[in-house]
Chain A
Amino acid sequence: MKTRRVVVTGAGAVTPFGDLAQTAEAIREKRSALAPVSRFDASPFGEERGGECRSFDPRPWFRQPKSLKVADRRTRLAVAAARMAAVAARIDDRPLASAGVVIGTSASDLQTEECALAVGNGGDVRDIDGFGGRILSKLNPLWLLVNLANMASAHVAIELEARGPNSTITTDWIAGVQAMGEAARWIEDGEADLVIAGGADCGVLPFVYAALEDAGYLGGGEPPFVPAEGAAVFVVEEREHARARRAPVLAEVTGYASAAGAQALRQTMDDALQQSGKRDVDLLCRAAIFVPEHWRAEDDAIDSVFARPPREFECNSMLGNGLAAASPIALAVALGMCRDEERLLLNAVGATGEAASIALTTGGRE
């Protein structure tokens, strides 16, 4: 019997449709956010579209505007979604002191065009003396800080003045779900009473498209795999702590598991459900990777875990695949669609065979 229970008291999201409310509405209306990528020409990669957060303006969300110059896209999305979640949970108006922060992310922006500018015309890139000389004199010296994956968590902590435990998870596309699961573990373990946790990622990057094309993921599926960007961040809290401050309770986290290798997803679904105490769910949020082998693998896992397949939800077909942010975004939307006391299972799958699942029960709204 768990002595400390974990609830979700706030959710914030930035997606190609806008904030969480705008996203939920667009998905109810079954609209598509997929459009030709605006920030670079993606057509040579076999998929000209992407899920871009075109209307996103990070500036209102940064109390420290100076941070923007070292904040890459996923950091900006993470900070905005985190502050939106904090507002929803009614904790945005104070330093969060001992609150923890954990963000899951996967793709790094190597700032292709800046590198190209610095590398310059002519010369073989294998001429390291020339390469080094040009990079050292022409590249923005803060380049590394923009790319470091841990900066999303760091900037969220700086913006929310949170000094609790802080981590960044980069396990490919399961990282966002893992961040939520690990946050629940921190709370159960007594390391924090409140943790800001979620996923933020930007798949609308040239090297992401290049690698996906190389893997055969682009330009063929029905529906197609279309990379996207976005973030969904949650306030995850110890249940009594939430009750004491009369926080809104969206759901309780009842199970979490991760694994790699053959049968990984089946294993994580089984384990999460077992921890939750019941084998059936009312809604399954699929990982929904639109690549035939991944889709079939998830179908197989669902068939082997459930006697009767549950109702399913996915929004990657409308938003694109937000990589480590995809499953957290699906959860944020699904929570808004459910009634109280509904059981959810959320899946995430990585390109290199990792899987993670989280079980939740909605409700307890006060």
Chain B
Amino acid sequence: MTRRVVVSGMGVIAPNGRSVGDFASALERGVSAVGPIRRFPTAAYPTRIAAEIDDFEWPGPGEPPRDWSVLDRIARFAAGAAAQAVDDAHLASLRGEKIGVLIAAGFGSYDHEEVFRSCAAGRRDGGFDWKKFRDEFRCAVKPRALERRTPGAVPALVARHFGFRGPVMAVMTACAAGTQALGDAARWIRRGDADVVVAGAADSELYPMGLASFCLLRALSKRNDEPQRASRPFSASRDGFVLGEGAAILILEELEHARARGATTYAEVLGFGSACDSFRVTDPHPDGAGAMLAMKRALDQAGLVPAGVDYINAHGTSTPLNDRVEARAIRSLFGEHAKRVAISSTKSMIGHLTVAAGAAEAVATVCALQRQIVHPTLNLDDPDPECDLDFVPHAARPMRVEVALSNSFAFGGQCASVALGRVARA
């Protein structure tokens, strides 16, 4: 008897909304959350725009996690989104059960001053003064440095705050991680390792070193004078992605378990696929081998054929390479049906949430299934003829959405795809 997996709660902290309702509504209205970066001076940077979240305080319910004041942004976003989702799914009534936590958290959990004051202090001509480095670190260090240094601390933090006793894991397949987390959590439930998993992702690369590292890779759009038009997936004039930040958490639950306790069932996780291009360090395989394999594996696990898919929430970063290759992979896998499936990119409005992208985009996809409306791809004024598929330009489209795929692809060639379906009214 196969166990089925549903989404029974959600939480989102995103540049365009700090609740699922606000998030979905902003996406449907086609509102861009991109603007000039406010948090730190960017005059020295070639890219000076992003989809930012202003200072984020604990929204409740209840007390914030221990050490809230020294938690970095990523941990705060994760905890905040988890609180929303846990509340939404009424998990408080499940005290004592083994609830798992599976969260992908980004890399940048270090503090600018801790790191760079130490580096600067240790620097000297002809060598490095490690005593000065260490002494400066002792001055600059904030509490619990060991916990903050590892992205693995985020799921443990969430588990501890809510008192969850189930399996716990952090995945970090970079930009595929948000989707990866959902697939892994669904597997845990299918196998009976848990009946409920708090699953999702959180990230922020919007700090001086993070922004610099992406600028150095020439990955970002430089359309600084028109921030809201910079993220333009699948358009001919796309020139790179726009960084976003935030977190999204989905409560995944075994179907009968959810029904027995009267939980809302927003959507079903039908299948998951993971693959690796195994080609180059960052350039995607020209035929999208990894992308195709991931999508195909998700569909196979769901028992579906491509023609059964109504909507694809694309990875759609707005880089020249990804969008071309992703469109090609969709055409190859979907054949005739490629022209009929609706495809849109959430990144066109909220930018690239990097590690968190797949989770936020899964929430967008669940909302599409729930509300039967697909959000648009913004800024598609000049569609790239090499992409040439239906990317739902400009305006949201009410339509029948029974089955959807959400894609996430990473530097290194890791590809993840999750198939989500509308839960039939019982």
Q: A and B: real partners?
A: yes
Chain A residues engaging chain B, CB cutoff 8 angstroms: 40-45, 67, 70, 100-101, 106-108, 110, 112-113, 115-117, 119-121, 123, 125-126, 128-133, 135-136, 139, 141-145, 147-151, 153-155, 157-158, 160-172, 174-175, 178, 182, 185-186, 188-189, 191, 206-215, 217, 257-261, 267, 350-354
Give per-residue flags for B131-158: 1 if the beta carbon is below 8 A from chain A beta carbons, else 0. Answer: 1011101100100111101111101110
Q: Besides A157-B413, A260-B155, 5 other CB < 8 A contacts?
A: A112-B119, A129-B43, A148-B174, A166-B275, A189-B191
Given contacts A126-B113, A128-B41, A260-B160, contact A161 B282 (CB under 8 A): no
What CA separation (Å) do A311 and B210 show in the bound complex?
Answer: 48
Give the distance to chain B from A41, nearest Cβ to Cβ, in Å: 4
Residue B152 contacts which of A158, A208, A215, A354 (CB distance < 8 angstroms)? A354
Nearest B residue to A117 by beta-carbon distance?
A: B123
Across the interface, which residues of A come within 8 angstroms of B131, CB to CB?
41, 44
Beta-carbon contact of B167 and A258 below 8 Å = yes
Counting from the closest, the 4 A-B pairs by CB-CB distance are: A154-B412, A132-B44, A172-B152, A144-B213
Which of B21-29, B80-88, B289-297 sits within the interface?
A: B289-297
Beta-carbon contact of B171 and A185 below 8 Å = no
Beta-carbon contact of A128 and B208 below 8 Å = yes
B321 at the interface (CB under 8 A from A): no
What CA separation (Å) do A121 and B120 show in the bound complex?
Answer: 7
B190 at the interface (CB under 8 A from A): yes
What CA separation (Å) do A115 and B116 show in the bound complex?
Answer: 8
Across the interface, which residues of B come within 8 angstroms of A131, CB to CB?
44, 116, 208
Given contacts A136-B216, A144-B214, A147-B107, contact A157 B119 (CB under 8 A): no
Nearest A residue to B282 by beta-carbon distance?
A: A145
Chain B residues engaging chain A, CB cutoff 8 angstroms: 40-46, 101, 105, 107, 110, 112-113, 115-120, 122-123, 128, 130-131, 133-135, 137-138, 141, 144-147, 149-153, 155-157, 159-160, 163-174, 177, 180, 184, 187-188, 190-191, 193, 208-209, 211-218, 273-282, 289-290, 293, 297, 301, 410-414
What CA separation (Å) do A191 and B101 show in the bound complex?
Answer: 22
Beta-carbon contact of A164 and B128 below 8 Å = no
What CA separation (Å) do A134 and B199 show in the bound complex?
Answer: 39
What are 29 A-to-B residue pairs whose CB atoms are below 8 Å?
Answer: A40-B128, A44-B133, A44-B134, A101-B276, A117-B123, A123-B120, A125-B112, A126-B113, A131-B208, A141-B217, A142-B216, A142-B217, A145-B281, A149-B174, A150-B411, A151-B412, A154-B276, A154-B413, A157-B413, A158-B278, A163-B289, A168-B172, A191-B274, A260-B101, A260-B159, A260-B168, A350-B152, A350-B156, A352-B147
Across the interface, which residues of A come within 8 angstroms of B46, CB to CB?
136
Give the distance to chain A from B333, nearest Cβ to Cβ, in Å: 15
Across the interface, which residues of A come within 8 angstroms of B123, CB to CB?
116-117, 119-121
- Chain A CB within 10 A, most for which of B131, B160, B282, B413: B413
Residue B165 contacts which of A110, A170, A261 (CB distance < 8 angstroms)? A261
Beta-carbon contact of B216 and A215 below 8 Å = no
Residue B217 contacts which of A144, A163, A172, A174 (CB distance < 8 angstroms)? A144
Across the interface, which residues of A come within 8 angstroms of B170, CB to CB?
169-172, 175
Given contacts A172-B156, A185-B191, contact A41 B146 (CB under 8 A): no
Give the distance to chain B from A206, nearest Cβ to Cβ, in Å: 6
Given contacts A167-B171, A261-B159, contact A215 B276 (CB under 8 A): no
What CA separation (Å) do A332 and B321 show in the bound complex?
Answer: 41
Given contacts A125-B120, A144-B217, A165-B274, contact A215 B155 (CB under 8 A): no
Beta-carbon contact of B44 and A136 below 8 Å = yes
Across the interface, which residues of A come within 8 angstroms of B172, CB to CB?
149-150, 168-170
Beta-carbon contact of B278 and A116 below 8 Å = no
Across the interface, which residues of A come within 8 angstroms of B171, CB to CB?
167-170
Beta-carbon contact of A119 and B119 below 8 Å = yes
Residue B281 contacts which of A133, A154, A170 (CB distance < 8 angstroms)? A154
Residue A150 contacts which of B134, B138, B410 (CB distance < 8 angstroms)? B410
Nearest A residue to B45 by beta-carbon distance?
A: A132
What CA separation (Å) do A143 and B216 show in the bound complex?
Answer: 8
Beta-carbon contact of B153 and A352 below 8 Å = yes
What CA separation (Å) do A45 and B118 show in the bound complex?
Answer: 13
Beta-carbon contact of A210 and B141 below 8 Å = yes
Give the distance to chain B from A164, nearest Cβ to Cβ, in Å: 7
Beta-carbon contact of A163 and B290 below 8 Å = yes
Give the distance to chain A from B36, nearest Cβ to Cβ, in Å: 14
Give the distance to chain B from A252, nearest Cβ to Cβ, in Å: 17
Give the distance to chain A from B125, nearest Cβ to Cβ, in Å: 8
